[in-house]
Every structure is written in structure tokens, then in C-alpha cells.
Amino acid sequence: MEETTHLALPLKYRPMTFSDVVGQENVVKTLRNAIEYNRIANAYLFIGSRGIGKTTLSRIFAKALNCRHEGDSGSIEPCGKCVNCHEIAAGRSLDVIELDAASHNKVEDVRPIIEAVQFQPVTSKYKIFIIDECHMLSAAAWNALLKTLEEPPPYVKFVFATTEGDKVLATIVSRCQRFDLRRIQTNDIVSRLKYICGKENIDADEDALLAIARGAEGGMRDALSSLDQLVSFKGTKILEEDALSVFGLVSRSALENLASAIINGESAKILDAIELFDSSGKNLRRLAAELLNHFRNLVVAQALGTDAKALEATQEQMAVLAEQAKNINSERLFRICDQLVELEDKLRYVLSVRTVLEMSLIRAGRIATTATIEEIMKAVRALKESGDVNALKEVYLNPRPAPESTNIARPSTTIAPQTQNLPPEPRELPEAKQEVKHINPTTRRQMLDDELVNSIISSTPGSQLVDIKEASK
Ligand SMILES: [Zn+2]
């Protein structure tokens, strides 16, 4: 019968027992122990992004609690054969009641639960209420539930699941055993996909599976849906290009080249790459997310080395990461990451994704190649120590274009327009005020705070900080 009807892969390979669950070892272990030692809490709260197994885990837990264990009475795993297991799996059990709070969030919707709590389970040990997307419940609905949650009859158990743990009221969270489900590692998804491909006679190359796993962002359900979609589209032979083109992903090497263009501040290369991705229909929002992940990996590689466990990367990726990590200092790397985080956030709301992406990445490229205040300080110190202007040339001082407002017709008065709004300069530095008027206010303020710079300025009447930039040209 199974051969005649096509069952979608996410359904067909939905985990049925604790040992089927991938990537949530700690949660599974705690739940199994709770059953084994009969220390079952009144309420559980599963928090995690979509498709990582909250509902699946809730059902397995409900089955394990109510299973009659036909055949193996000592097992904690649900047997999958008894009436209770069958009914729960089919959503027909009278003792396991599911509520989707996304569509049923009012007081009237939870009232049947409060009433049902009064009655003993019909055929099982426990009466279990699974409330999905529980953060959507109205405050009134929660209040109605609260009394029951505080002192439920011993046969009643609650399982709440949500994608947004922060939105669940603290009074509720404190009455639950809370589990934060982690996103499933790319490698775990790849090996599960490999297993399923073997079972389904799908011939997929490993890079294709990697691309699917990347696209699923830690969600097993999404990964399986994607594989399903790909098989419908391409048949049972799947290559990396297929996966990339169907899901609008950029190939690993193209992504690495773009990162390298950013690190080298090569605006033309950045624009060319975006043009190519856009015209070949790549998902630019996804590109921004993957780029952030790449730079995050660079931070990890720099801090911990490329053999770090926190690095989710293949051998080829690691070689590139090691090379790129050598070519950029950590301060700039952090600033690029900040820029990319900001970009990801912005892209959620804008329509002109490409333009925002272009501007943002060019800016990231500038960040990668513009001197930081620390480097300027270092240069100044080098100058102080050696008395040699050439020492400054060791430090790369890419002259940052002056902000537009100061660029346009700089007034001939001694004070630049924006500085008029600034609090008065420290009194002991009257001469400094005269000397550094061309440097943008933030930088200048930081410089004036530096004791060393102050001493240089005050002890060398003829010197101008602006000259540092001139000297480096
Ligand atoms: Zn059973």
C-alpha cells in the first residue's frame, strides 16, 4: 500500500521514537530519564525555531507516557504497536489533546481544556494537552489556564511548544520544565539525508546534500521538504548545481570569492558578483545570511583555529577560512560582522534588496581597509618613538572620504559646522582646538582623550594631526 501512494519525505521519515530524533540529545536524555525514574513534571515547554522537532518530540513524549509497551514492557521508547501509540500518531487519542494556539488563542478555545482536565483519562495513564505555538495565546486565555497549571490533577500533563520563548509569560515559564531545542548541525542533517537517500534509492552527490542542509538552516523538516522538491524536479539523480539553482543558493566557492573581495575592499568585484547572483536568480537575502555565517566562521577560525569544534565547515572550507583569517585583523573583522548583522536586519523590510546589499557590502569592504582609531594611535606612538614620519607608512591609512556635510564648502571660520553643537572642549587644551579642526568630531574627540596625543599636540606647536594623513600618501 505504501508503494502506491506517495508519502512526502518529512512525513515518511518523521521520528517515531526518541532514538530517531536527530540533534537534540540532551533534551531526549532528560525526557527519557524523567520517564525511567518516574519524575514527570506537570508541564513542559519546548522552545526552538520551526522544523527542528518540537511537535514531533511532544508526540513521542506523549506516546512514551501512555504507551502500553506491547512486547517489551521494560522499554521507555513508545512501542508504536499498541492502541495508544496508533491513536496518538493518528491524532485520534481521547487522552492526548492538541491545540494549535496560532489559530485558537481565545479564552473560549482553552475552556474545553479546563473542563476536560476534570475527567480521568479514558484508556491511558495520563491526559496530555499539547499546545503548539503557545506564545499566541491571549493573556486572558493564559489567565484562565493558570489555575489549572498551578495544581493540575496528577493524571494531567501539559506540553507547550513555541518558536518564540521570549513571548511566553514568565509566570508560565516558571511553572514548566523548559527545553531550548538547538538548531540541528549541518553535518547531522547531511548524514540523515544520506541515510534517507540510501533508503529511497536517490543518487545525490555530497555537495548537493550539503547545499540542501545549508538551505534548511538547522531545520530537518525543511531539509526533507527540499529533498522531496528536488526529486520531483530532477528525478533521482541530484547534483550540487541542481540544489543550488532550485533553492537560489550561491555556490560555496562564489561565496568565498565575495568574502575575499570584501576583505580586500574591492568594490568593483563586489558589484560584479552581486550583479551575477541577481541576474541568475539567487536569493540575495539568503546570500547576506550566508555571508554573515562565513565571517562568523572567520572570527572563530581566528580566535580558536580552524580545527575548532564550533566551526561547521568541510575540509575545503577550512583551508579557505585559514587563508582569509590571516589577511584581516580581528578588530576589522568584528566591524564587518556588525555591518552584516545590520544588513540582515535591514533586508527584512526593504524592497530594493539588491541596492541595499550593494551599498552595505561596499561599506563592509571600506571597513575592511580603513584605518581604525587604534591603528592611528599606534602610528602616532610610532612617530613619537622614532621621530620618523615614514614610520606612519607602515600602518595602512586609507584616507576616509570626509563626511559630505564637511566636504561641501568647508567654511573658512575656525570651527566646522557640526562642532558648534558639541559640548565645550576641555579647558586645558585651547591650542589643540585650533590644530585639529579638519578631523571628524568623533575621531577628534577620541584623539583628544588620548593622553599621548595631547602631549604631542601641546609639546609641538607647529604640528597638525591632519598631517598624519598627508604623510601617509
Ligand atoms: Zn505503544
pLDDT at res. 245: 80
Residue 161 Cα to ligand 1 middle (Å) = 23
Residue 182 Cα to ligand 1 middle (Å) = 28
Residue extents of the structural domains in the chain: 9-180, 186-247, 252-369, 387-402+418-472
pLDDT at res. 185: 83
pTM surpassing 0.75? Answer: no
34-70 core/surface letters (b: 16 or more CB in 10 A; e: else): bbeeeeeebbbbbbbeebbbbbbbbbbbbbbbbbbbe
Residues with pLDDT less than 50, the chain: 1-4, 395-422, 424-442, 457, 459-473
Task: Domain 252-369: give its CATH code.
Answer: 1.20.272.10
pLDDT at res. 317: 79
Distance, C-alpha 286 to centroid of its chain: 12
Residue 354 Cα to ligand 1 middle (Å) = 53
Q: How many Cβ atoms from other residues are within 10 Å of residue 331's Cβ?
A: 12
Residue 79 Cα to ligand 1 middle (Å) = 4
What residues does 45 pair with on adjacent strands? 160, 178
Residue 95 Cα to ligand 1 middle (Å) = 14
Q: Which residues contact 328 (CB under 8 A, 6 or more apart)?
A: 263, 298, 336, 368
Residue 184 Cα to ligand 1 middle (Å) = 27
Residue 57 Cα to ligand 1 middle (Å) = 15
pLDDT tens digits along 309-325: 777 776 677 889 999 99
Residue 87 Cα to ligand 1 middle (Å) = 10
Residue 66 Cα to ligand 1 middle (Å) = 7
pLDDT tens digits along 381-422: 877 777 666 655 554 444 444 344 433 343 443 344 444 444
Closest CA to 27 of 150, 204, 179: 179
Burial class (CB in 10 A: 0-12, 13-18, 19+), 158: buried
pLDDT at res. 281: 86
CATH class of 186-247: mainly alpha
Task: Domain 9-180: give its CATH code.
Answer: 3.40.50.300
Residue 77 Cα to ligand 1 middle (Å) = 8
Residue 2 Cα to ligand 1 middle (Å) = 22
CA 190 – CA 192 distance, rounded (Å):
5
C-alpha cell at 443: 575621531
C-alpha cell at 363: 561599506
Residue 290 Cα to ligand 1 middle (Å) = 43
Q: How many Cβ atoms from other residues are within 10 Å of residue 125's Cβ?
A: 14
Residue 97 Cα to ligand 1 middle (Å) = 17
pLDDT at res. 161: 95
C-alpha cell at 342: 545590520
